[in-house]
Chains A and B, each alone.
Chain A
Amino acid sequence: GAVVSQHPSRVICKSGTSVKIECRSLDFQATTMFWYRQFPKKSLMLMATSNEGSKATYEQGVEKDKFLINHASLTLSTLTVTSAHPEDSSFYICSARDRGQGWVSTDTQYFGPGTRLTVL
Chain B
Amino acid sequence: GENVEQHPSTLSVQEGDSAVIKCTYSDSASNYFPWYKQELGKGPQLIIDIRSNVGEKKDQRIAVTLNKTAKHFSLHITETQPEDSAVYFCAARGLGSTLGRLYFGRGTQLTVWP
Contact = CB atoms under 8 A, between A and B. Distances in A.
Interface of A: 1, 4, 6, 32, 34, 41-44, 46, 49, 51, 57, 93, 97, 99, 107-114, 116
Nearest to A2: B46
A115 to B, nearest CB: 9
Q: Give the interface size bracket for B toward A.
A: 20 to 34
Given A108-B46, A114-B43, A43 B101 contact: no
A43 B106 contact: yes
Given A51-B99, A93-B44, A113-B42, 6 more contacts: A44-B44, A49-B99, A109-B34, A111-B44, A114-B43, A116-B41
Contacts, number: 51
Main secondary structure on B side of the interface with A: loop
A32 B97 CA distance: 12
Given A43-B104, A43-B106, A109 B43 contact: no
Main secondary structure on A side of the interface with B: strand
Contacts of B106: 42-43
Contact of B46 (A1, A41, A114): A1
Given A32-B100, A97-B100, A110 B42 contact: no
Given A107-B32, A111-B44, A114-B41, A43 B102 contact: no
A108 B43 contact: no
Nearest to A45: B104
